[in-house]
Amino acid sequence: MITKDSFFQPGTSFLIKNTSINLRGVIYNFDSPKVMGILNITPDSFYDGAKYTSLSELLTRVGEMIEEGVDFVDLGAYSSRPGAGMISEEEELSRLEPSIAIIRKEFPDLFLSIDTFRSGVARRMVRDFGADIINDISAGTIDSKMFETMADLNVPYIIMHMQGNPQNMQDHPKYESPVKDILKFLAQKKYELNLIGINDIIIDPGFGFGKTLDHNYKILTDLEVFSLLEAPVLVGISRKSMISDLLKIGSEDSLIGTSAAHSYALLKGVDILRVHDVKAAKETIEIIQKIKG
């Protein structure tokens, strides 16, 4: 088990208490776990690809998530499933722009996150469409301009660990120690961001992004270690292969397994569940909160 005493050295400067973020100029606290609903506008996402091919279907889904109690919606136009094909920045924007425009018009109070690793996309979404959060699966490692862009945009930034990129991340991923290696990576990125004035940071250990089945479950087992970074912790476990492969079922049948994994993550202190099934996640949170008292 990795502990604070075994990992951190005296005088480490990135452990700044921060379990809240500045969201639209207001302090947003994580005194209870939140739900981020996944909204993929891609033809090839692993679970819900091509489900929302029209703007009316998109709005219907957003409305459903709001009724179910979603706290944030994460809009993504670039599939990051293992082996996914590359698309251009222009294609990503062409998918995002009409979608975010109509969502903003119909649901102006909804907190919207944009799932992108491109600084140009992040800038366009925040500056021109009022996106509230940027969710970067690469933590700035794919686009070298992302950190400086985020400092300029001044919105909360989700940094995730990924080994490699979506095209090669599952080609024999290896770690000296998965939890310690990921923790060190996120700690370093958080430190670099703090140095340039970015403090509204959410961390994500990156389940399924360059990890084997055993890596994923080791991270889940030791999930509380990431609270050492003193930032809100997000997990994206929903219907992933770490559940369906273990249970030998399809992703469409993996809601029960997802809820079981979410329950464990909540007991480990996670702050945000990024999910396909909002209602199930909200109910899981309610039960675990009651158990924890």
**Known catalytic residue at 274:** yes
Catalytic choice (95, 123, 211, 240): 240
Q: Residue 186 class from Cβ within 10 Å (0-12 exposed, 13-18 middle, 19+ buried)?
A: buried
Catalytic residue status for 180 = no
Asked whether 102 and 55 are in contact (CB, 8 A), the reply is yes
Residue 129: φ, ψ to 5°: -125, 0
> Computed from CA positions of residues 92, 95, 96, 101, in that sequence, does the dihedral angle turn out positive or negative?
positive
CB-based contacts of 211, cutoff 8 Å, min separation 6: 163, 173, 178, 219, 242
| Rounded-to-integer distance, Cα 241 and Cα 126, Å | 32
Catalytic residue of the set 274, 279, 290, 292: 274
* DSSP secondary structure code for residue 248 in this structure: T
CA distance 108 to 39: 17
Joined together, the tokens standing for residue 34 give: 């939140």
Contact criterion met (CB below 8 Å) for 272 and 233: yes
Instruction: Indicate the burial class of 183 (C-beta count within 10 angstroms; 0-12, 13-18, 19 or more).
Output: buried
What lies within 8 Å, CB to CB, of 91 at 6+ separation is 77
Give Cβ neighbours of residue 100 (< 8 Å, ≥ 6 apart): 75, 112, 114, 125, 129, 131
Residues acting as catalytic residues = 240, 274
